Amino acid sequence: MMKIHWWKVLAIVLLIYVVIAGFLGDVPRQPILQETIRNLYFHVTMWFSMFVLAIVSLIYSIIYLLNGSVLADARASAFAKVALLFGLIGIATGMIWVNYTWNATSGKLVFWVKEDIKLNAAAMGVLIYFVYHVLRTMVENTEKKGRLAAVYNIFAFVLLVLFTLVVPRLSASSLHPGNAGNPGFNIYDIDSAMRTVFYPAVIGWSLLGVWIASLRVRYTLLKIR
């Protein structure tokens, strides 16, 4: 049993470590960011995990197009759902970060900077996967729904990459580190101590996403039976 579920135990251990070290560990005290830099462990890692889950969903969509496996379609849908969830959490944690950093001196509650291209692009990326799930509910025929969703999922991933990785780097209107000439976190913020929490966080959140998706797959197969 332990051999089968070792990765679940690893996910729990890593996330307990991330939460404790993330809130209590030492972090660089940078201007404006100060203690909010701890959100790096929860905001940025959500987007990393979303990409991992979206890639897995993409792979299963391709498998479904090749052999029409119901299990592959269920897995593609489940991983896309969890990727969407992580994307929403990534946006929510980013909005909190915006209010306490970029708008710290305004004296107002401002959770969105509409001029920031990366914020808008991230929202578009999440919206694309929301449409994926809406599309699945609109088609009743199982085979047609699976094929249509699989094809859309391939385009959705390509658009996700374009919106979140390519477009922001071509724009000069982002306040995010690493964009529009701003130095990246790896240049002026992240030291070796933060890396020892950041990378386990990516692994831990990704494993948690796989865990949630696997439960969703089991639920879907039970409904089919």
Over residues 150-161, mean pLDDT: 91
pLDDT bracket for residue 115 (50, 70, 90) = low
Q: Which residues contact 81 (CB under 8 A, 6 or more apart)?
A: 133, 213, 216
Q: What pLDDT is stored for residue 216 in this prediction? A: 92
At residue 173, does pLDDT exceed 70? no
pLDDT bracket for residue 66 (50, 70, 90) = very high
Mean pLDDT across the chain, nearest whole number? 80
**58 or 182: whose pLDDT is higher?**
58
Q: What is the dihedral of CA 122, 217, 68, 53, to 10 degrees?
A: 30
Query: pTM of whole model > 0.85?
Result: no
Q: What pLDDT is stored for residue 213 in this prediction? A: 95
The residue extents of the domains of the chain are: 52-224
Quickly tell me which residue has 């944690």 as its tokens. Answer: 93
Over residues 41-47, mean pLDDT: 86
Over residues 186-200, mean pLDDT: 69
How far is the C-alpha of 65 from the C-alpha of 71, rounded, in Å? 12
Segment (H or E) for 187: helix 185-188
At residue 188, does pLDDT exceed 50? no
Number of alpha carbons in the 13 Å side-chain half-sphere of residue 180: 13
Q: Which residues contact 34 (CB under 8 A, 6 or more apart)?
A: none
Over residues 121-133, mean pLDDT: 87
Task: Kindly report, residue by residue over 89-106, the tens digit of the pLDDT.
Answer: 988 888 777 666 666 555
Number of alpha carbons in the 13 Å side-chain half-sphere of residue 182: 18
**Number of helical H runs and strand E runs in the chain:** 8, 0
Percent of the chain exceeding pLDDT 70 equals 74
Q: What pLDDT is stored for residue 148 in this prediction? A: 92
Provide the 10 A C-beta neighbour count for residue 123: 15
**35 or 173: whose pLDDT is higher?**
35
Spatial contact of 207 and 53, defined as CB atoms under 8 Å apart: no
Segment (H or E) for 62: helix 44-67
The winner for highest mean pLDDT among 21-25, 105-109, 168-172 is 21-25
pLDDT bracket for residue 182 (50, 70, 90) = very low
At residue 170, does pLDDT exceed 80? no
Q: What pLDDT is stored for residue 178 in this prediction? A: 47
Q: Which segment of 67-76, 135-144, 153-162 scores lowest on mean pLDDT?
A: 135-144
* Residue 86, token pair as written in the block: 């992580």
Segment (H or E) for 31: none
At residue 57, does pLDDT exceed 80? yes
